[in-house]
Amino acid sequence: MRHDTALLHFAITGFLAPAALAQDGLTLYQPNTDTTTYLIDSTGAAFHSWPGTEQPGLSVYLLPGGDLIRTRHSATGLPGTGGGFERVTWDGTVTWQFDYETATETPHHDVAVLPNGNVLMIIWEEYTAAQAIAQGRNPNFVQSLLIPDKIVEVQQTGPTTGDFVWEWHAWDHLVQDYDSLLPNFGVIADHPELIDLNYPPGPPQNGDWMHSNSIDYNPEFDQIVLSVSFWNELWIIDHSTTTQEAAGHTGGDSGKGGDLLYRWGNGAAYDRAADLDRQLFFMHDINWIRPGRPGAGNLLLFNNGTARPGVGNFSSVDEVVTPVDAQGNYPSLAPGVPFGPTAAAWTYWDPVPDAFYTSIMGGTERLPNGNTLIIDSTEGRLFEVDQSGTVTWDYTNPHGTSTNWVFKARYVPDCRTPEPYCATVPNSAGPGVTISATGTTSLAANDLVFQMTGGIANNWGLFFYGEGQGMLPSGDGTICVGSNFFRFPTLQSNAAGMGSYAVDFGNLPSIGFEPFATWNFQYWYRDPIGGPEGWNFSHALAVTFCP
C-alpha cells in the first residue's frame, strides 16, 4: 500500500503544506542499469519482479491483463538507444521478443502499446549530408549525417517476429526557406504543420536532430504525441491514416495526413514566437492523463528545465490543457500566432535551489486520486505530490549495477485488498448489511469468497457486480455499482442473517475479469418490513484482481 507515508516538502508556492495522503497502489519501474523490472509497494518491498537478460532501452509498462512490455537495450549507438522490446507474462514467460536494427535505423527510448496489442516504436533513421542538403538543409547545419525520427507500428507475427503495419516519417513533412530551388521551399511561419529542416540552427551533435524521447497514444482520438526534446516541443499527429496518407498532407480523421496537428512549447521552432517565450526546456515522458483521473485528456510532461532564461536550471512537471474539441480537432491559427495555451495549467517545482533538477531523463504520471507521480531520474528518486505540492510518498531506488538511475515509472492498482465504499442503509434487522471478502483476489488461486452480515434471517438475496461505481437510489437503499451489471446465483441467509458465496472464475462468462481490472460488488436482498419498497442493498467493495 502507498498511503502510509506523508512527508512535508516545499513546493509550488514555497509554503509548508499540511500532510496529505498518497495514492493507494503499487509502482512499476526498472533501473537503467538493472536487468530486473520491479513492482513495489510504498515500503519499497517488491510485490513482484521480472528478471530479464537486457537493461531497458528505456521504458517498461504493465498492460491490462498483467503482461509486461519491456524495452530492450539490445543495440548500440546514441544516448537512449534501445533496439527492441519484449512481452512477458506474469510468470516470466517471454511471448514476444522483437529486436530491430539495420545499418541506418535504430529504435530508441520508448514504446506505446495500442489497444489491439500492436506496439508503436520510435526509430532513428539516418540520412547522409548530401541527402539532407538536397532537401534544403543549410550545408553549415549538417556534418556527416542528419538523423530524424520515424514511428512504426509493429504487429506480432511470431515469437520473435513482427510486421510494420503503419509508418510515419518526420522526413515526409519538411519545410525550408534556405534555397528556393530545392524541395520543401516555403515561408516557415506559414506552415506550423510542417517541420523546419533548418531548425535548430547548427549541426546537431552526432547527427541526432530531433531526439524524440517519449511517445503516447490517445485511443479516444486515435492520435500520437511525441516529446521532441531537442526542439523543446511536443507534437501531435494523426494515427488514423494509412501509411500512404501519413506520408502526405491529406487523409485520416483529421484530413491532414501526417502533418502536425498540434505542437506546443516553442513557437520559435516555426517562426511564430521569440526564444524567450519558450515554455519547454528539454523534456521527457509526455503522456495524456488517463480517463477517470483529474485532468483527464490534458497532457502531462517532465520539463527538465535546462537553461531557463533568466532563472537557470530547475525541473518542473507541467500539465498542459490543449485546445482540442470533442472530435479531436485543433483550431486553425491566425497568422503569426503560435499554438496555445500561453502557460501550463498546473506546475510542480521546488523553489529550494538545486533541490529538484535533473538535466536528463525524468518522468511523471497523474494518479487516480489527483496526486502526481514524479521520477527524478538521476537521483533514482520516485516521489508523489498532491495538487498543492506536498510530497506524500518518497522512495529512492536501491538497485542498479553502476547507477541507480530510473528513466520512468508507472502506477499500478493494488490488487491485494478490496476497498469498501458507499454507506450501508438500515434495514428491519438493524444498521444494514455489510459485505466482506475472504481468500485472495488472485484469479489463479480462485479462492475468493464474498460474505454478507447484518441481513434478515432466512432471507433471499444475491451478490451482483459491475465495472463502474455509482450512487443511484433504489428500493430502500442505494445501488453503488455503476454499469454493466452481472449477478451471482441467489442465496438464502442463515438464522443469524449471514450468507456467503464462493466465486468460481472458471465458470463465469468472459466479461473482463483479468489481472489489474477493477470490478465493484454489492449485495441486494429482500426486506419486506424494512421500508416501503421491500428491498435494500449493502455497501460496496471495489476489487482489483491479482494474476
Is the Cβ–Cβ distance between 136 and 171 less than 8 Å?
no
Three-class SS of 64-84: CCCCEEEEEECCCCCCCECEE
Backbone angles phi, psi at 277, to 5 degrees: -90, 5
pLDDT of residue 484: 82
- pLDDT of 112 reads 98
Q: Are 427 and 527 in contact (CB under 8 A)?
A: yes
Residue 5 reports pLDDT greater than 60: no
Is it the case that residue 10 has pLDDT exceeding 60? no
Residue predicted with more confidence, 19 or 491: 491
Task: Name the region of 202 (left: φ>0; alpha: ψ -120 to 50; beta: rest).
Answer: left
pLDDT, one tens digit per residue, over 499-532 is: 999 999 888 766 678 999 999 999 999 998 888 8
Residue 328 region by backbone torsions, left for phi larger than 0, else alpha for psi between -120 and 50, else beta = left
Instruction: State the pLDDT confidence band at 16, using cuts at 50, 70 and 90.
Output: very low
Q: What is the pLDDT of residues 206-236, one digit of tens each?
A: 999 999 999 999 999 999 999 999 999 999 9
Report whether pLDDT(13) > 90. no
What CA–CA distance (Å, rounded) separates 143 from 455? 79
Which grid coordinates belong to 405?
538511475
Helices (H), 306-367: none
- How many alpha carbons lie under 13 Å from residue 285 in its C-beta half-sphere? 31
Q: What pLDDT is recorded for position 531?
A: 85
Residue type, 301: L
Identify whether the C-beta of residue 268 lies closer than 8 Å to the C-beta of residue 278.
yes
Q: Does 19 have pLDDT greater than 70?
A: no
Displacement of CA 84 from its chain's centroid (Å): 19
Contact status, residue 309 vs residue 206, Cβ threshold 8 Å? no
User: At residue 191, what is the residue type?
Assistant: H
Query: Sorting pLDDT into bands at 50, 70 and 90, what band is 312?
Result: confident
pTM: 0.92
Spatial separation of the C-alpha atoms in residues 208 and 404, rounded to whole Å:
26
Output the DSSP codes for 259-311. Answer: S-SEEES-GGGGTSS-GGG---SSEEEEEEPPTTSTTTTSEEEEE--TTBTTT
Residue 487 three-state SS = strand
Which element (helix H / strand E) includes 174? strand 174-175
3-class SS at 95? strand
pLDDT tens per residue across span 102-127:
999 999 999 999 999 999 999 999 99
Q: Which helix (H) or strand (E) holds 131?
A: helix 129-134
Enumerate domains of the chain plus CATH numbers: 26-412 (2.120.10.30), 419-544 (2.60.40)
Q: Does the structure show a pLDDT above 80 at 175?
A: yes
| Model confidence pLDDT, tens digit, residues 180-205 | 999 999 999 999 999 999 999 999 99
State pLDDT tens for residues 276-311.
Answer: 899 999 999 999 999 999 999 999 999 999 989 888
- What per-residue string of b and e applies to 24-60 under the rule 16 or more CB within 10 Å gives b? bbbbbbbbbebbebbbbbbeeeebbebebebbbbbbb
Nine cell digits for residue 115: 489497444
- Whether residue 11 has pLDDT greater than 70: no
Instruction: Give 394's contacts (C-beta < 8 A, 6+ positions apart).
Output: 5, 7, 381, 382, 383, 384
Look at residue 3 in the predicted model and tell me its pLDDT: 33
Contact, 299 vs 292, CB < 8 A?
A: no
For residue range 375-386, what is the model confidence (pLDDT) as tens digits? 999 999 999 999
Stretch 14-24: mean pLDDT:
56
DSSP H helical segments within 384-501, as ranges?
Answer: none
CA angle 117, 121, 124 (to 5 degrees): 165
What's the whole-number average pLDDT of the chain?
A: 93
* For residue 331, pLDDT beyond 60: yes
pLDDT at residue 137 greater than cutoff 70: yes
Determine the Cα–Cα distance for residues 477 and 481; give it in Å rounded to an integer. Answer: 12
Q: Three-class SS string for 446-462? A: CCCEEEEECCCCCCEEE
pLDDT at 387 over 60: yes
Cell matching residue 281: 526546456
pLDDT at res. 1: 33
Identify whether the C-beta of residue 378 lies closer than 8 Å to the C-beta of residue 361. Answer: yes
